[in-house]
Each structure stands twice: as structure tokens, then as C-alpha cells.
Amino acid sequence: MEILLTSTYALLFLFIIRKMEFFAVDGISKPAISLIFILKIIAGLALWAVYTFYYTDRATADIYKYFDDSKVISDALWTHPLDYLKMLSGLGNNTPAFDHYYSEMHYWARKIDSSIYNDSHTIIRFNALLRLFSFGYYNVHTVVICFLSLTGLTAIYKTFVPYLQDKKKELLAAVFLLPSVLFWGSGVLKEGLIFFALGLLIYYSTKLFSRKALLICLAAAFLLAFSKFYVWLAIFPGILFLLWVNKAGRQRLFLKFAAVTGIVAVTGLNIDKFTNIQNPLVTLSQKQSEFSQLAYGNLTDANNKPIPTAGSLIGINPLEPTLSSFVANAPAALQNTFFRPYITEARSPMMLLSALETLLVLFIVLLCLICMKPPREIRWEYVLFCLSFVLIQFLIIGETTPVLGAVARYKTIALPFLLIAFLFIADKKKLLEKVPLYRKIFI
């Protein structure tokens, strides 16, 4: 039954891709987008297979733990439908009357409260809603998340392709075909929802003069903030910068970028002084502490069962809730996110693939710098937009994450933007002259 239902939904989404105007994309035919969708489904099934037949502890597998927790919410629909609606919406569900539901879940509650919304709730609720249509079959969720992720990635591609007309194939590869984007972005994980919300937010923020675009931006920003708050935080300055440039022109780009970045940074670092929102440096310090305790097996789940020690621990410096501590830890944080995992650290096939991808990305970046355009010909607003997003994410991930496997996965969201930034910098004529293999791949 699961195979039949999964195939039916896959065919339905292929039909939607064929009919929706949104997927009429410059540089990619609809059959090609359909092929990418099928490729994503294959990657999603591969992820399912890895965590079903290789890593067999279902209780610690991210693809299952939020999916399994969602059954508690969905089951309430048939016995206490009002409770189901409250848990699904998040309205009126934080009372002792709901404790018997949450005690059955392993990952709804967390042991340390860092004052930021627990983004695990979003993916659990997403799965609980989807169970109405999937009847509890996991791979139906895989197909849906693949379509949502594809939609967001298509929106990212559509945002940049007008300015990279000579590099359409390269942009397609950077956005859709990175191994980590295919793998992690096609499973029943937060990454799929993040790509969906992030892509729509970026694409429609360039069209804010219409009511439709404004509503989509607000909805996407809301979903992004509740799926992974630090990704929303990382993209916010760049979107403000692009809006200013699009409205006022490209004069004094670097001054505008510095002004936006400075205002957002000063406001954010002092937000606790004029609101009830916790200082982000305190939050980051707490998040590092929480992650470290989780990684070293010092926490238990909601049923007081020990959470096992992570398999790829790395040493990171303790992060104090001060700006000086954040700055002091920044070089090591960027090293961990830009350059690791090293080949010598690969202890599993998945880690080896991540290490090879890291080398590939660094090689492409170096190649683009060697074949750089004259500075006056570069669209610096998009380079700054992409690099600011990457750097903020990499800093937050590197400062708070003591598990190399988690670093490799979390930076997936940023990698397409890192490559896009350097596509804007690269001179295609120089690449064709200096790299014969490049001509064979992209011409």
C-alpha cells in the first residue's frame, strides 16, 4: 500500500510541476525540473534506507524521531479533536492537561530552555498534519518534502538567473545538485521546510510591490523563523540590504551594506535593553551548552532514557555570553564550517562524502577567484547578500555545534549561496580558457 500511495503522490506532483506557471523557468525545461524532482525522491529514499538498514536505532534517527512523535498528535484527532487542533496550531496547548501527550513524545520537550522557540515542534506538527493524507506511511512524507524543497530551490534559482545569464547550467548545479542539498534536503527533516520557506522569502522579497508577494513573504518568514530561527536571522540583513539597493540604486553599495549590517548588529546585540527578548549572545551560549550536553550523552529524553553520545565529537571552545568571547571563537568556528570534515576525519561513508564535497566546494571557490572578473563588472550586491548569509550561518553553526556530522548537515542550507556568490565573481571566458574540463561539462 505504501508503494502505491507514494507513487500516486509522486505522479500528482509531477503533474503539478508540468501545469504550474511557477515552474516555467529560464534555463531549465519542465522535463528537466521533473527529472530533478525524481532525483530528489531517489535521494530521499536513499536517506530513508540509510537510517532504516544501516543506522538501525530508530529512536535517534532524525528522519524518524519527529515522524514518530507526530503520531501522538495525529492520534488525538480521533479521540480528542480539540486537543489535536490546539497541539497542531500551538494555541492553548501549554497547560498541564497536555502533559500526558508530551510525555509520550521523545523530542517535543528539551531539558534546557534557551528562550527561543523549540523548532522541533514545527517539523513534528508538519508530520502530524501530513499524516491526514499519508495514513502514516513514511515515504509519502518523503515525496511531499521533496516537492516543497524543490519549490524553494526553484525560487532561489529564479532569483539569481536573470543576473547569471551566461552561467545558467552552473547555477542549476549549484542550487539543485550539490550532494548534501540532494541528500539532506530531500528527507523528512527541517532542511526541506527551510529550503521551501527561504526560497519563497528571497524570491518574493524582490517583488514586494504586490499584495501577493507581501503575503507570501510574511508567511515564508514566519515558517522560516519557526523552522530554524538562526537561518531567518542570517538572511534578514541581506534582504534589507537588497531592498534598499533595489529601491535606491547601486551607488555606494559597500557603504549601504556596512550601514545595514551595523544597524542590525547593534540593534540585535542590545535588543534585551528595550524589549523582553533575550540577548542573542546569551541564547548562543545556552545553545552551545545544550548541544554539548546532548552530544556528550548528559541528557535524557522525555521518558528519562539516556540519549547516547554523538559519534563525531569535536572540541570547541566554551562560548561565554559576551561579544569578546564570540569574536575570539569566530576563527575556529569558521575553520570548522568552511574546511571540515577533513578527509582524515572520515570514519564513515557519509562523512567521507561530506569531506569530498567540502574539497569540491573549496576547489570551485579557488577556481572562481583565479578566474575573477574585473571588480567593476561584478554585481557586488548579490555577492554581499550571499556571503553575509553564509558567514552569519557558519559563525552560528561553528560557535555552537560540537558534532562534526551535525556541522556537515547544518551548513547544507548555506552551501548553494556560497557557490552562487563566486559564480558572480567568476569570468566564464577565463574559465573556458584555463580549465578544459569546464568546457566539457558546461558547454
Q: How confident is the model at residue 155 (pLDDT cuts 50, 70, 90)?
A: very high
The predicted-structure confidence for 38-66, as pLDDT tens digits, reads as follows 999 999 999 999 988 887 778 778 889 89
Answer whether residue 117 shows pLDDT above 70. no
Amino acid 301: pLDDT: 59
Phi then psi for residue 379, to 5 deg, are -80, 85
Q: What is the pLDDT of residue 97?
A: 85
Q: Is 29 exposed, middle or buried (0-12, 13-18, 19+ CB in 10 A)?
A: exposed
Q: Which pLDDT value is given to residue 116?
A: 46
Burial class of residue 136, CB neighbours in 10 A (0-12, 13-18, 19+)? middle
- For the chain, how are helix, strand and coil distributed in percent, rounded to 5? 75, 0, 25
What number is the average pLDDT over the span 276-280?
88
Predicted pLDDT of residue 96: 86
Q: At residue 277, does pLDDT exceed 60?
A: yes
Confidence of residue 309 (pLDDT cuts 50, 70, 90): confident
% the chain with pLDDT above 70 = 95
Residue ranges in 105-252 assigned as alpha helix (H): 120-134, 138-160, 168-176, 179-184, 190-205, 211-227, 229-248
Mean of the per-residue pLDDT values of the chain: 90
pLDDT at 111 over 70: no
Cell triple for residue 341?
570534515
Domain spans of the chain? 1-227, 248-443
Residues in the chain: 443
Higher-scoring residue by pLDDT: 10, 441: 10
Whole-angstrom Cα distance, residue 222 to residue 232? 9
Q: Give yes or no for residue 259 having a pLDDT over 90.
A: yes
Torsion of CA 160, 226, 409, 36, to 10 degrees: -50
Q: How far apart are CA 166 and CA 438, in angstroms?
A: 14
pLDDT band at 305 (very low <50, low <70, confident <90, very high): low
Render pLDDT for 355-382 as a digit per residue (tens, 0 to 9).
999 999 999 999 999 999 999 999 999 9
pLDDT band at 300 (very low <50, low <70, confident <90, very high): low
The residue with greater pLDDT, 174 or 311, is: 174
Q: pTM for this structure?
A: 0.94
Look at residue 256 and tell me whether its pLDDT is greater than 50.
Answer: yes
Average pLDDT on 159-187 reads 95
Summarize pLDDT for 196-228 with one digit per residue, the tens: 999 999 999 988 778 888 999 999 999 999 999
**H-helix or E-strand spanning residue 357:** helix 349-370
**DSSP H helical segments within 228-306, as ranges?**
229-248, 253-269, 280-295
Is 110's pLDDT higher than 70?
no
> What pLDDT does residue 179 have?
95
3-state SS, residue 77: helix
With bands split at pLDDT 50, 70 and 90, how would you rate the model's confidence at 348? confident
